[in-house]
A and B are shown apart, each in its own frame.
Chain A
Amino acid sequence: MGALSTDQGTSSAATLTVRLKQLGGRLRFANLMVLGLVVVLVGMCAFLAHASPYFLTVRNLLNIGSSLSILGVTAVGLTIVMIGGGLDLTITAVMMATAMVTAALIIGGTPEWLAALIGCGAAMAMGAGNGLLVAKARVNPIVATLSTMSIIRGVGYIISKGAFRGLAIGIDQFALLARSSTIPGIPNALLCWLVACGVGAFILRFTLFGQHVFAVGDSAAACQVSGVHVDRCRLLTYVIGGLASGIAGLMLLSLSTTAYAQQAAGEELNVIAAVILGGVGLSGGRGGVAGTMLAMLILGVMQNGMTLTGVPDYWQYIVRGLILMLAVGLDSLRSGGGYR
């Protein structure tokens, strides 16, 4: 991409054509993936509306949306990280730590807005730590974030002085972000998710950084020789990922009014599954926020529908695993590649 942008003057028309073709190719691909997900989602909804009278009610749909919204915000950050070819296992640990730091500050008497800002700052610092390990120390992202996950969870334990001793803020504190409804009828948590998706889509589609993220995920080596700052780009994706998880952590605190060290543990795998399912895949360089959002919705509708139709909880483990493998399997069949 960098090479193209330096190519000015006489061949600018040709460059433009090439760019349009690239863009067209990417859109066509994205649309196919998104279309498939939409078909699956609509099919599931149609089936569930038939199977349960409670499914297709405004209340239930809002319920699905707001229960997904916290992990949905994190998923936007993770989508950017994974399009850039990285992976972040710390997302839920960062959520917990942000909630913990903010709760501790609020209990200590800090104004709520200041506590929230400090919490976001801490989340970005944690993201930067991951980014430095990956981009500068060149540790494989899975290994790097697996180790920092331990540290961040550990810091949570240290702040709360033990496993299940949560920090509880007052019931009237910090309600605005996720618990109340500014627009009557629509939970603020849902709005937060939509805004996060919009910002994420804007970053990926309409900024130079977004273009670099796709390029780095596609081929880091090619970017290196075309003068893209690969390290800086990677670092920035992790910082953004950290910020997204931090905001999700604030929402979590707002919704539950408590923070404890085991909060949301293990959910990171579900979010990763959604991002993979949404078309980013493991190798990066493709996909987008829309796909991730649809995949989150599919998983959420599935869970909700199984509860409504009285399928035992345990089946969810099995169906979720099968959906993940099926999605990746179909994807690798279609792209003609797969694991070698």
Chain B
Amino acid sequence: MNTPPFSAGEAGTIPVRTGHKSLRERLRYANWTLLGLLLALVVMITGFSIASPYFLSVRNFLNIGQRVSIYGIVAVGLSIVMIAGGIDLSIGSVIAATTVLVATLIKGGTPIWIAALAGCAGGAVWGVMNGLIITKARIAPIVCTLGTMSVIRGVAYLFSGGQSVSIGGQAFAFLARGQIAGIPNLPIWWLITCGLGLFILRYTLLGHYVYAIGGNAEACRVSSVHVDRWRFITYVLSGLVSGFAGVLLLSVTGSGAPFEYLGAELDIITAVILGGIGLSGGLGGIAGTMLGTLILGVLANGMVLASVPQYWNDAARGIVMVAAVTLDSLRRGGGYR
């Protein structure tokens, strides 16, 4: 998915890609991760459709979309960070802090659109903090964001005094709970975010360098790429996207709470890794992340409908994940040394 599909028109302009491809060559360059994920998704949907009469319905699919959208949106920002070889554990805390901030602003009488923008900006500010600590103080991303995860959640608790801030049923609810032509807004926001993420990764300089830095930061540095600057931008983006997700979450729940999305960062990282973006970076894309998010969502939803007790959920997710990462590692001849 990272290499654009070949077409006859391109053949003349890009000499490297000319010529007829043998089946073997096509197979070698096919994106096995994506195909595997797609296959897994289709198998799961087929299985759950057989197991439950309620699964294969438009209503249920909209339901799944509604459930996974916020995770899916945050996963887009995290994907960009992780393709560049970083990681961001503070996303769950940023979401919680944003719901508190925006709810407090709305309660204080701020117009809702200004409050929403302030929420996104607040998320971006946390991203700036992460980016500065990582690129200036040179603290490894996993340690830095582990620390800021704690700090940001603490600030959310302090700011709200440990209470949730309710905004009641207001016009703000339309942002995520409204519908356009029968389709809930939340999945639409998810698709828009994915589209933007795809555009950034494929067609902008940022996307180009994100893959390069994730592939080999040292090589980028000696080729005078501003590695730190691009890395910094990925964290700001991730913060911004998390802030946006926080605004949407507030719209869904109607109250800002400092304990929101505690531990959600691990679920979101699971989706991203399942989608084929390794921890070392340089690989994968938005399509994989979308599939990873959907697989986890379908798994959770289908197991409920197939009357599997809820408590099998974690184990099933873990088994899917172990299978995915082991296959991926074995196929690539071993990643971790």
Partners in one complex: yes
Does B146 lie within 8 Å of A324, measured CB to CB?
yes
- The reply to whether the CB of A40 lies closer than 8 angstroms to some CB of chain B is no
Does B158 lie within 8 Å of A139, measured CB to CB?
no
Closest to B140 in A: A339
- The reply to whether the CB of B316 lies closer than 8 angstroms to some CB of chain A is yes
Question: In the complex, A265 Cα to B314 Cα: how many Å?
Answer: 13
CB within 8 A of A338: which of B139, B146, B262, B311?
B139
- The reply to whether the CB of A238 lies closer than 8 angstroms to some CB of chain B is no
Residues of A near B147 (CB, < 8 A) are 321-322, 324-325
Residues of B near A221 (CB, < 8 A) are 337
Does B315 lie within 8 Å of A158, measured CB to CB?
yes
Residues of A near B329 (CB, < 8 A) are 137-139
B45-53, B73-81, B233-241, B263-271: which lies at the A interface? B263-271
Does B142 lie within 8 Å of A282, measured CB to CB?
yes
Using an 8 Å CB-CB cutoff, how does the interface string of B24-56 with A read, 1 for contact, 0 for none?
A: 000000000000000000000000000000000
Q: Using A265-B263, A266-B263, A314-B162 as known contacts, say yes or no to A147 and B321 having CB atoms under 8 A apart.
A: yes
Q: Using A140-B279, A150-B314, A150-B318 as known contacts, say yes or no to A339 and B139 having CB atoms under 8 A apart.
A: yes
Residues of B near A152 (CB, < 8 A) are 318
Q: Using A147-B321, A338-B138 as known contacts, say yes or no to A314 and B146 having CB atoms under 8 A apart.
A: no
Question: In the complex, A111 Cα to B310 Cα: how many Å?
Answer: 32
Question: In the complex, A292 Cα to B311 Cα: how many Å?
Answer: 35
Does B319 lie within 8 Å of A151, measured CB to CB?
yes
Q: Using A138-B336, A154-B316 as known contacts, say yes or no to A325 and B279 having CB atoms under 8 A apart.
A: no
Does A332 lie within 8 Å of B270, measured CB to CB?
no
Closest to B323 in A: A147
Closest to A144 in B: B325
Question: In the complex, A303 Cα to B218 Cα: how many Å?
Answer: 41
Does B312 lie within 8 Å of A154, measured CB to CB?
yes
Name the distance in Å between B274's Cβ and chain A's nearest Cβ.
Answer: 9
Using an 8 Å CB-CB cutoff, how does the interface string of B105-117 with A read, 1 for contact, 0 for none?
A: 0000000000000
Does A146 lie within 8 Å of B269, measured CB to CB?
yes
Using an 8 Å CB-CB cutoff, how does the interface string of A300-327 with B read, 1 for contact, 0 for none?
A: 0000000000001111111111101100
- The reply to whether the CB of B60 lies closer than 8 angstroms to some CB of chain A is no
Number of B interface residues in the complex (CB < 8 A): 54
- The reply to whether the CB of B309 lies closer than 8 angstroms to some CB of chain A is yes
Question: In the complex, A218 Cα to B334 Cα: how many Å?
Answer: 20
Name the distance in Å between B146's Cβ and chain A's nearest Cβ.
Answer: 6
Interface residues of A in 91-145 (CB under 8 A from B): 133-134, 137-144
- The reply to whether the CB of A261 lies closer than 8 angstroms to some CB of chain B is yes
Name the distance in Å between A292's Cβ and chain B's nearest Cβ.
Answer: 16
- The reply to whether the CB of B185 lies closer than 8 angstroms to some CB of chain A is no
Using an 8 Å CB-CB cutoff, how does the interface string of B272-292 with A read, 1 for contact, 0 for none?
A: 010000111000000000000
Closest to B262 in A: A266
- The reply to whether the CB of A157 lies closer than 8 angstroms to some CB of chain B is yes
- The reply to whether the CB of A276 lies closer than 8 angstroms to some CB of chain B is yes
Residues of A contacting B: mostly: helix
Residues of A near B146 (CB, < 8 A) are 269, 272-273, 321, 324
- The reply to whether the CB of A162 lies closer than 8 angstroms to some CB of chain B is yes
CB within 8 A of A147: which of B142, B313, B325?
B325
Interface residues of A in 324-340 (CB under 8 A from B): 324-325, 328-329, 332, 337-340
Does A151 lie within 8 Å of B140, measured CB to CB?
no
- The reply to whether the CB of A196 lies closer than 8 angstroms to some CB of chain B is no
Q: Using A143-B279, A261-B311, A318-B151 as known contacts, say yes or no to A324 and B143 having CB atoms under 8 A apart.
A: yes
Name the distance in Å between B115's Cβ and chain A's nearest Cβ.
Answer: 23
CB within 8 A of A140: which of B162, B280, B321?
B280
Residues of B near A163 (CB, < 8 A) are 310-311
Does B143 lie within 8 Å of A276, measured CB to CB?
yes
CB within 8 A of A332: which of B138, B310, B312?
B138
Name the distance in Å between B234's Cβ and chain A's nearest Cβ.
Answer: 14
Residues of A near B280 (CB, < 8 A) are 140
Residues of B near A220 (CB, < 8 A) are 337
- The reply to whether the CB of A19 lies closer than 8 angstroms to some CB of chain B is no
- The reply to whether the CB of A153 lies closer than 8 angstroms to some CB of chain B is yes
Question: In the complex, A328 Cα to B133 Cα: how many Å?
Answer: 11
Does A140 lie within 8 Å of B154, measured CB to CB?
no
Does A138 lie within 8 Å of B311, measured CB to CB?
no
Using an 8 Å CB-CB cutoff, how does the interface string of A179-214 with B read, 1 for contact, 0 for none?
A: 000000000000000000000000000000000000
Interface centre among B142, B144, B279, B336 (most CB of A within 10 A): B336
Question: In the complex, A109 Cα to B291 Cα: how many Å?
Answer: 47
Name the distance in Å between A248's Cβ and chain B's nearest Cβ.
Answer: 20
Does B279 lie within 8 Å of A154, measured CB to CB?
no
Residues of A near B144 (CB, < 8 A) are 325
CB within 8 A of A150: which of B134, B142, B262, B270?
B270
* Given A137-B326, A163-B310, A314-B158, 19 new contacts (CB under 8 A): A137-B330, A137-B334, A143-B278, A144-B325, A146-B266, A146-B321, A151-B315, A151-B319, A151-B322, A154-B314, A162-B309, A265-B263, A313-B162, A317-B153, A324-B147, A324-B150, A325-B148, A338-B139, A340-B218
> 11 A–B contact pairs at CB < 8 A?
A139-B329, A143-B273, A150-B315, A151-B318, A273-B146, A313-B157, A317-B157, A318-B154, A321-B149, A339-B134, A339-B138
6 nearest A-B pairs in the assembled complex, by CB-CB distance: A154-B315, A317-B154, A150-B318, A338-B138, A151-B318, A321-B150
Q: Which residues of B contact A (CB under 8 A)?
A: 133-134, 137-144, 146-151, 153-155, 157-158, 162, 217-218, 262-263, 266, 269-270, 273, 278-280, 309-319, 321-322, 325-326, 329-330, 334-337
